[in-house]
Chains A and B, each alone.
Chain A
């Protein structure tokens, strides 16, 4: 038993991402078509060249017909996958493994979500019939419980943690302001953010990901075929998907200051990619900042910061756009927006732009000899989570 990974066996040769936000004028069909056509164009393929599709969506529709119908694709395998907020990354993993297996030559993974048609702010999971004992709190509330737990564990003031969280939001707003596809493009200062009214625990609306519509897609082929499509492919170095057993919400040993599923998936992905010093090796990271405390914890769980120090390093600017390790240079879920099924592929899209030098000048990460990017996408809640980590790179070997 092992997680061997598929290092350097598959490459991304085309990507696309729609603008994210309140797309009142576009339905899920149109978003899917826009993302698919963008990916075809990016890779220089047409739909007839694609052998199979994986569609990631949390709750915008069901079955492969969701993709085949608007794109008018007949007779191809289309798989609709769902794994909470990591559905897009899961779709990518399925497509990459299918190509690596030799089953297909060209596969497309596409993530899409239409959240803004629900009539409610925030995201709402569709109700599964139950005995009524399942909890009824928002995701914001679940993640807000990190704040008192983190402050308690490390003996720091809640106000220190809040300051670091505001710093995360401010950074992501800054990065998003430089991104024409982002939902929120307004700078927010730490002072402005600290003054916002609280909606869940210590969190304000500005600590939460943008609720957005959007779609993103990737075309994947075998690595040896990559240069038939592009001079600058992005090679898959490692893909890890880890699902916890939900024990954190039933086991008193879990303390709400870490996500064990993330630690496990990061270690697995680093091992697959041969990375021993993530902070020193990665050019950038896109992480799942669904709420600002999540990004703080992720800095520790992904091995970027020592335990109990992320809050301080965040305040010191270590993960700023011009910092030692830029995190969420595209604005993250916070500013780019979080159309659930699309987010995992949106993260890879930023790696695609940055590592290939195509990001707009204003938000380019510092030039270095580093050629690797990490994307991290999670779903669920502290204590019961699914976590995905990918390592992508421009160089073979």
Chain B
């Protein structure tokens, strides 16, 4: 059988919090809309969400053998140094697996996908974004936060869930949406220009891809259209004459548009819903257009996503608008009057990469698990996928945290081992001895521009084990 290259895994990550956008008008005098947007927690950034999306795609991160990692975000926590290396460390990829940032524009998300497809061996592309607009403005309500990951590989190495049937790109130079370096909000040209130019680009790309695939619109079972221009997305769907039941939900009212992550997220959602031998077209409108057409394989029937998008969409918990604004730095709330955390020591962190980023403890000859790893223990013990139980806990209203109170628990793991650790995605009043928790990669603090990444525990909610 010929070796086929295609999608071997995909997954998405939606942050736990949802902002009910009807709350906006009461504060801002206008703005918002019906529905919700997803909100990255105060301790999340694009890097941490990317890690969670990769974990959702790859399942257990143990023994992941990737040839390369490609990462896109428009909101990186770092410039000059590679954000993807943090993801690389959290996933415990081999030192010889290179990781690349493809940064700054929504369209670059397709660049990462294309690079991963074209790279030798298995390759993972990740899109992750944290999208902010000014309070009361249309972008605040249009955007959401999230991440998605798509792995490509050869059928000789891993079951291919979807083969690539066509890939067609159109690059157009015009100004519709832009953001200056250092700004957190983007600006947009008047809506009509983008509507016309994006519809044209989308149609050109779609027609090109369909021709490449030898298909017509009716031959596509599911069409995913998304982009940086909401009205153009609708226009393309109308112009292309796509049947209503073939159009995938863009999730605009449930979570909002998650920038460079959104094509990944919607592709993962579409694949998780699809049956074998379906044709799925992904149409992305950003500085032109890009269309990917895939055909699902029989292997999809055996695929069990670790955290289905549908399950994450159904989960989540509300977040008050004021808290949302403070998490995004748009409203300064009084912090606890305690010293802020110090800058992480780069040298100390470099010595504990497996522990700090990978949550790798150790196991003694007698089987005792130690976190952090104990000197002299013969074995490493990965704890990132471990499930634990709260032995005791506290709610600390004194300690410094960007979002008081700090909820903290002593967690005992099923594999053995104990870690006193901060809890996240949790309501302080809902914690109890005996609660079950899982580990998530988060940003603990930030000082002098250095991000302090480590792991926290959160209540075990949706997870296919």
Contact = CB atoms under 8 A, between A and B. Distances in A.
B418 interface: yes
Contacts of A198: 395, 397
A135 interface: yes
Contacts of B410: 145, 249, 256
B372 A149 contact: no
A147 to B, nearest CB: 8
Interface string A261-300: 0000000000000000000000000000000000000000
Given A141-B398, A148-B392, A201-B394, A250 B418 contact: yes
Contacts of A144: 394, 396
B341 interface: yes
A124 B445 CA distance: 18
A201 B397 CA distance: 8
A140 B392 contact: no
A388 to B, nearest CB: 24
A250 B370 contact: yes
Given A132-B349, A135-B420, A141 B344 contact: no
A141 B396 contact: yes
Interface string A119-144: 01110100101111101111011101
A132 B355 CA distance: 11
A146 B433 CA distance: 12
B354 to A, nearest CB: 11
A227 interface: no
Contacts of A252: 391, 412-413, 416-418
B394 A137 contact: yes
Nearest to B418: A252
A251 interface: yes
Interface in B328-350: 337-339, 341-342, 344-345, 348-349
Contacts of A255: 391
Interface string B394-412: 1111111100001010101
Interface residues of B, number: 46
Contacts of B420: 135, 249, 383
B356 A133 contact: yes
B97 interface: no
Given A129-B345, A131-B349, A135-B408, A251 B418 contact: yes
Given A140-B398, A141-B406, A250 B342 contact: no
Nearest to A252: B412
A250 B417 CA distance: 6
B337 A132 contact: no
A279 B342 CA distance: 46
A131 B352 contact: yes
Contacts of A124: 338-339
Contacts of B324: none
Interface in B387-444: 391-401, 406, 408, 410, 412-413, 416-422, 433, 444
B168 interface: no
Contacts of B393: 145, 148, 201
Contacts of B422: 135-137
A136 B396 CA distance: 10
B452 interface: yes
A152 interface: yes
A121 B356 contact: no
Contacts of B344: 130-132
A145 B352 CA distance: 28
| Range class of the A interface residue count | 35 or more
**Most A Cβ at <10 Å: residue of B355, B368, B398, B445:** B398
A200 interface: yes
Interface in A65-91: none
B394 A141 contact: yes
A103 interface: no
Contact of B433 (A121, A142, A149, A249): A149
Given A199-B397, A251-B418, A132 B445 contact: yes
A272 to B, nearest CB: 32
Nearest to A248: B418
A254 B412 CA distance: 10
B100 interface: no
Contacts of A120: 337-339
Nearest to B395: A201
Nearest to A256: B392
Contacts of A149: 391-392, 433
B345 A138 contact: no
A133 B373 CA distance: 12
A197 to B, nearest CB: 8
A16 to B, nearest CB: 33
Contacts of B368: 251
B351 A200 contact: no
A377 B85 CA distance: 46
A356 B351 CA distance: 56
B158 interface: no
Contacts of A127: 339, 341-342
Nearest to B416: A252
Contacts of A256: 391-392, 410
A172 to B, nearest CB: 20
B454 A132 contact: yes
A131 B339 CA distance: 18
Contacts of B419: 250
B98 to A, nearest CB: 24
Given A120-B337, A131-B351, A200 B391 contact: no
Contacts of A121: 337-338, 398
B197 interface: no
Contact of B341 (A131, A136, A142, A152): A136
A198 B398 CA distance: 10
A138 B396 contact: yes
Given A250-B370, A256-B410, A131 B348 contact: yes
A131 to B, nearest CB: 4
Interface of B: 337-339, 341-342, 344-345, 348-349, 351-352, 355-356, 368, 370-372, 391-401, 406, 408, 410, 412-413, 416-422, 433, 444-445, 452-454
Interface of A: 120-122, 124, 127, 129-133, 135-138, 140-142, 144-146, 148-149, 152, 198-201, 249-252, 254-256, 383
23 contacts: A122-B398, A127-B339, A129-B348, A130-B344, A130-B345, A131-B356, A132-B444, A132-B453, A133-B355, A135-B421, A138-B398, A141-B398, A141-B408, A145-B394, A149-B391, A152-B392, A200-B394, A200-B396, A249-B420, A250-B371, A251-B368, A252-B417, A252-B418
